[in-house]
Chains A and B, each alone.
Chain A
Amino acid sequence: MKITVEEDRCVGAGQCVLAAAEVFDQREEDGIVVLLDADPSDELAARVRDAAIRCPAMAITVAE
C-alpha cells in the first residue's frame, strides 16, 4: 500500500493518530499530520484504511 497525505487539507483533528499511531503523527508546533511510514506492513493495512475514512478533512489517500 502507498499512503499520501495532504498537509494543506489537514485540520489537526488527530483521528489518524488514534487509528494508527505507528503510521501517523502530528507536528508539535501546529498539529498537522506527519507521515511516519508511507508504505507500512500488511498487518497495519486495515487501520491505515480506517485512518483515511476517519479523517474529517479527507487529507489521507491510500493506494493499494
Chain B
Amino acid sequence: MTGTEPISGTQPLARSCPFDPPPEYRTLREQDPIAEVTLPDGLPGVLVTRYADIRTVLADPRFSSQRRTVRIGAAEPLDAPVPPPAPGMFIMMDAPEHTRFRRLLTGQFTVRRMQQLAPAVERIVAAQLDAMAVATGPVDLVEAFALPIPSLVICELLGVPYADREEFQRGSAMMLKVDGDPEESRRAQLEMREFMHRLVLAKRAEPGDDILSGLVRSGELSDEELVGVGVLLLVAGHETTANMIALGTMCLLRNPEQVAALRADPSLLDGAVEELLRYLSVIQFGIRRTAREDLELNGHRIKAGTTVVAAIPSGNRDAEQFPDGADELNVERPYSPHVAFGHGIHQCLGQQLARVEMKAALSALFDRFPTLRLAVPVEEVPMRDGMVVYGVHELPVTW
C-alpha cells in the first residue's frame, strides 16, 4: 500500500503519561500517517493519524459506518463478515438509513434545547455536590459525581420516572461495567433492554414531553427500534461524559495554573471545555470505518472491506492543526476545530449536551471545593487503559 515499511506493526496502546496518547502516534503522524497495522483485536487495518486525513475518512461516504467494533482479546474469527447493525443502532448505519434516525432526534439536541436544559443539569450537579460535602474522608469522584450526573441527565431526557431512577442508574452502571463478569454484564444488558421496553410502553400509554415520547409520537419506529435508540442514547451519553468529567478534573488538578486562569476569568470556561475535549480525547482507540470499495486515500490504496481507524487522540495532537503547543493543555487556546466528537454525518448528536454537562460539572465542582485535591499519589489512580472510553476507574479526592 505504501512504499515505506510501517514503523509500528500494531495500533499503539501504551501511554507514557496518563493524559497523553501513546507517544508512537507522533512518529506515525510524521513518518507513516496512513499505516497498515494490526488492530488491538488482531484484525489487520489501516491506521490514519493526521488531523486532515481523519476528517476526510469521517466525512467521505466511501467509508462505511457498518463496521467491526473494538473487541480486545475477543476470539471471533478474523475473516468474519462485518455484522449488520442492530435495530436502532444508527451510529453503525450509512445514509439514507442513518438519516431517518438522526432526523428524528436532531430537533431534541439543538443548541437552544440543550441550553434550556442547563438549569436542570445545574440542579443535578448541585445535589451531587451537596451529598459529597457531608462526607468526611476521601470520596471517589467517579461514583459520587462523574457517573451520576450524565445518568440522571439521561433520565431527565428519556423521561424516566423519579421512582425508577435508582433502578435505571444501577442497571446502566452494571451494563457499562466491562471489567466484571461477562455473563453478569450480558444479563445487565438484557435487563436494561427490558427496562427500556417497559419505558417505551409507558410512553405509548401516556406520552410526556421527553425524547422517547417524541419518538413514539412520530410513529416512525418499531418498539424494537425505540428500545435500540433508547439504549444507544444511554450508552453514548453516559460513559463518555462521565469520563470527561472525572479525567478532566484529574487533568485540571495536575495543571493548577490552568485552574487559576479559569478562576481569574470565568469567560474562559467554554474554551476550557473544548480544550479538555481535544487534549484528553477519551475515544482512545479512535473511530472505525470500513472501506466500501477499493479506494485511494491521500495517495494510499485501501482495499474494499478494510477496517480503517481514524485515530482521534492523534488527530487532536496534530501540530499542523494546533500549531501552538499541541501537546500542552491551554485553556486560553484560540478555538480551532477538534475531532473529539468525530466529524461527518455521525458527529456526536449529543455534543451540545456534553458541553452543557461538562461546563456545569467542572465549574460548580471547583467553586464548591476550592481546595480540591487528589487523595492518593497520581500514579495510584487506576486508569482505564484497555477500555473503549478512556478515563479513570476511580478518582479518590479530598478537600
Residues of A within 8 A of B (CB): 11-15, 17-18, 21, 26-32, 50, 53-54, 56-58
Checking B335, B347, B352 against A11 with a beta-carbon cut-off of 8 angstroms, the contacting residue is B347
In the complex, the answer to whether A26 meets B110 with C-beta atoms within 8 Å is: yes
In the complex, the answer to whether B107 meets A17 with C-beta atoms within 8 Å is: no
In the complex, the answer to whether A30 meets B345 with C-beta atoms within 8 Å is: no
Given known pairs A30-B106, A31-B106, the reply for A57 and B111 (CB within 8 Å) is no
Given known pairs A26-B112, A31-B109, the reply for A14 and B351 (CB within 8 Å) is yes
- B384 interface hit (Cβ, 8 Å): no
**What number of residue pairs across chains A and B have CB atoms under 8 A from each other?**
64
Classify the secondary structure of B's interface with A. helix
- B102 interface hit (Cβ, 8 Å): yes
A62 to B231, CA, bound (A): 39
In the complex, the answer to whether A14 meets B107 with C-beta atoms within 8 Å is: no
In the complex, the answer to whether B344 meets A31 with C-beta atoms within 8 Å is: no
In the complex, the answer to whether B106 meets A11 with C-beta atoms within 8 Å is: yes
Q: Which residues of B contact A12 (CB under 8 A)?
A: 102-103, 106-107, 109-110, 349
In the complex, the answer to whether A56 meets B59 with C-beta atoms within 8 Å is: yes
In the complex, the answer to whether B347 meets A56 with C-beta atoms within 8 Å is: yes
Q: List 25 A-B contacts (CB under 8 A).
A: A11-B347, A12-B102, A12-B110, A13-B347, A14-B110, A14-B351, A14-B352, A17-B110, A21-B111, A27-B107, A28-B107, A30-B106, A30-B107, A31-B106, A31-B108, A50-B335, A53-B337, A54-B337, A56-B58, A56-B59, A56-B344, A56-B345, A56-B347, A57-B59, A58-B59
In the complex, the answer to whether B352 meets A56 with C-beta atoms within 8 Å is: no
Classify the secondary structure of A's interface with B. loop
User: Closest approach, in angstroms, between the C-beta of A46 and any C-beta of chain B?
Assistant: 11
A33 to B102, CA, bound (A): 14
Nearest B residue (CB) for A56: B347
In the complex, the answer to whether B351 meets A30 with C-beta atoms within 8 Å is: no
- B148 interface hit (Cβ, 8 Å): no
Given known pairs A56-B347, A57-B345, the reply for A11 and B107 (CB within 8 Å) is no
Given known pairs A14-B352, A26-B112, the reply for A57 and B344 (CB within 8 Å) is yes
User: Closest approach, in angstroms, between the C-beta of A12 and any C-beta of chain B?
Assistant: 3
Q: Which residues of B contact A29 (CB under 8 A)?
A: 107
The 7 closest A-B pairs by CB, nearest first: A12-B106, A31-B106, A56-B347, A14-B111, A26-B110, A17-B111, A30-B107
Q: Which residues of B contact A26 (CB under 8 A)?
A: 106, 110-112
Chain B count of residues within 8 A CB distance of the other chain: 24
A54 to B337, CA, bound (A): 6
- B348 interface hit (Cβ, 8 Å): yes
Nearest A residue (CB) for B337: A54
Give the one of A11, A27, A53, A58 with max B CB within 10 A: A11
A53 to B341, CA, bound (A): 15
A54 to B59, CA, bound (A): 12
- B342 interface hit (Cβ, 8 Å): yes
Apart from A14-B109, A17-B112, A57-B347, what are 4 other A-B pairs with CB-CB below 8 Å? A11-B102, A13-B341, A31-B107, A32-B106
A56 to B60, CA, bound (A): 11
Q: Which residues of B contact A32 (CB under 8 A)?
A: 103, 106
User: Closest approach, in angstroms, between the C-beta of A48 and any C-beta of chain B?
Assistant: 14
User: Closest approach, in angstroms, between the C-beta of B91 and any C-beta of chain A?
Assistant: 12
Q: Which residues of A contact B349 (CB under 8 A)?
A: 12-13
Q: Which residues of B contact A58 (CB under 8 A)?
A: 59
Q: Which of B33-86 contact A (CB under 8 A)?
A: 58-59
A28 to B87, CA, bound (A): 27
Q: Which residues of A contact B112 (CB under 8 A)?
A: 17, 26, 28
User: Closest approach, in angstroms, between the C-beta of B24 and any C-beta of chain A?
Assistant: 28
Q: Which of B99-155 contact A (CB under 8 A)?
A: 102-103, 106-112
User: Closest approach, in angstroms, between the C-beta of B209 and any C-beta of chain A?
Assistant: 13
Nearest B residue (CB) for A12: B106
A30 to B344, CA, bound (A): 18
In the complex, the answer to whether B107 meets A56 with C-beta atoms within 8 Å is: no
- B343 interface hit (Cβ, 8 Å): yes
Q: Which residues of A contact B109 (CB under 8 A)?
A: 12, 14, 31
